[in-house]
């Protein structure tokens, strides 16, 4: 038996039926996880249940893409682990083509010790939505900086995962989109071999405009909340920096003192007000304060460079440096750190 296909699905369209039918025709077994979809979607899941070699599992409410994947992994371990080399995860919205899914499955079957990633052509790909490109750019660079490993496409949902790794991945705390990134972190820390396989990605042009507008409006609202919290944090940070620098005339000491105090305030505000996260507080705090450490180094470097190279006052340099880092901070927190309550099970 080959790898089993696991598809998390939240509010899927009819394209999911076509995808699953094509996978069955290709000889695959499929696990579909209904992650708390609305009643309007139940006819789709009913049709899927009627297909051969398809298992449909359901969550009572939306728990997030990571939770849906874990449900599929558990079912695989209980029913297929003895006869299958692992799972191939794919998205429910038709982004992944059957030949690409087959390629990942064949690669995993040939070498069931490697984690396979179906990577998209991200550079100069005008078909890829802007938010996807920006999100992947930030996560890819941060991932490489923190862990020292280059992953071309950190957000890809098409992955071949060996059965031997699934039990470990069930212990990863994340339950939303961040689960997929944490899988890569876990794999890197445990030195699991990771191979990349080039794939095509299809973004449907029709029936997507409204979803894109709604998503962008939601992100804009979150950005407004982020700006408000960040403004308060920045005021605290700048005030403490100025006060400490006035007495010490030391940029490093002033940066550390201000950032430690303001980051505690900002983390609380970001979690409770900006992103209204329902994720694990310890897990999010670890990621957030890792980001704080990174940005503290960047802030010190930028402020010092502007002050010493351009001869600008440290007080002005501080404002300029923080302004440069503001948008990067928002993108990383939104895509990487905080887990929102309503987390779609599709990319």
Per DSSP, the residues of 254-319 read HHHHHHHHHHHHHHHHIIIIIS-B-S-HHHHHHHHHHHHHHHHHHHHHHHHHHHHHH---HHHHHH
* Model pLDDT for residues 74-112, shown as the tens digit of each residue: 999 999 999 999 999 999 988 899 999 999 999 999 999
Tell me the torsion sign for CA atoms 211, 216, 217, 219: positive
Name the one residue in this structure whose structure tokens are 């957000």: 155
The low-confidence residues of the chain, meaning pLDDT below 70, are 121-150, 177, 201-223, 275, 277-279, 327, 331, 334-336, 338-347
The ranges assigned to domains in the chain are: 4-205, 211-337
**Strand bridging mode 159-162 / 86-89:** antiparallel
Quote the pLDDT of residue 9.
95
Quote the pLDDT of residue 347.
44
Tell me the torsion sign for CA atoms 156, 158, 160, 163: positive
* Model pLDDT for residues 208-235, shown as the tens digit of each residue: 444 544 555 555 566 677 778 888 888 8
Q: pTM of the entire structure?
A: 0.62
Quote the pLDDT of residue 164.
95
Contacts of 248 (CB under 8 A, 6+ apart): 254
Asked if CATH classification 3.90.550.10 holds for the domain at 4-205, the reply, yes or no, is yes
Quote the pLDDT of residue 313.
77
What does the alpha-carbon distance between residue 208 and residue 202 come to, in Å, rounded to a whole number? 12
């Amino acid at each position: 038996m080959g790898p089993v296909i696991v598809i998390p699905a939240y509010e899927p369209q009819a394209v999911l039926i076509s995808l699953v039918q094509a996978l069955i025709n290709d000889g695959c077994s499929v696990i579909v996880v209904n992650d708390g979809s609305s009643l309007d979607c139940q006819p789709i899941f009913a049709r899927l249940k009627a297909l051969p070699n398809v298992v449909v599992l359901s969550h009572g409410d939306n728990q997030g893409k990571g939770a849906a994947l874990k449900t599929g992994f558990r079912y695989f371990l209980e029913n297929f682990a003895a006869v299958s080399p692992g799972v191939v995860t794919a998205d429910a919205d038709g982004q992944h083509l059957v030949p690409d899914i087959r390629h990942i499955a064949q690669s995993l079957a040939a070498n069931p010790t490697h984690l396979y990633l179906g990577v998209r052509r991200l550079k100069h790909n005008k078909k890829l939505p802007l938010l996807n490109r920006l999100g992947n750019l930030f996560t890819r660079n941060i991932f490489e900086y923190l862990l020292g490993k280059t992953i071309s496409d950190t957000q890809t949902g098409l992955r071949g995962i060996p059965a031997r790794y699934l039990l470990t991945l069930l212990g990863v705390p994340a339950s939303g989109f961040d689960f997929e990134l944490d899988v890569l972190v876990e794999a890197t820390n445990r030195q699991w071999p990771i191979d990349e396989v080039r794939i095509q990605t299809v973004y449907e042009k029709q029936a997507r405009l409204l979803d894109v507008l709604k998503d962008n409006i939601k992100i804009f609202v979150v950005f407004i909340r982020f700006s408000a919290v960040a403004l308060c944090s920045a005021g605290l940070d700048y005030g403490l920096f100025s006060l400490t620098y006035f007495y010490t005339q030391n940029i490093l000491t002033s940066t550390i003192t201000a950032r430690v105090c303001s980051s505690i305030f900002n983390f609380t505000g970001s979690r409770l007000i900006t992103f209204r996260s329902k994720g694990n507080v310890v897990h999010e705090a670890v990621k957030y304060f890792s980001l704080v450490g990174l940005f503290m180094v960047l802030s010190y470097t930028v402020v010092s460079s502007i002050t010493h190279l351009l001869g600008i006052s440290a007080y002005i340099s501080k404002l300029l440096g923080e302004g440069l880092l503001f948008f990067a901070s928002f993108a990383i927190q939104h895509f990487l750190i905080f887990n929102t309550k309503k987390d779609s099970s599709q990319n």
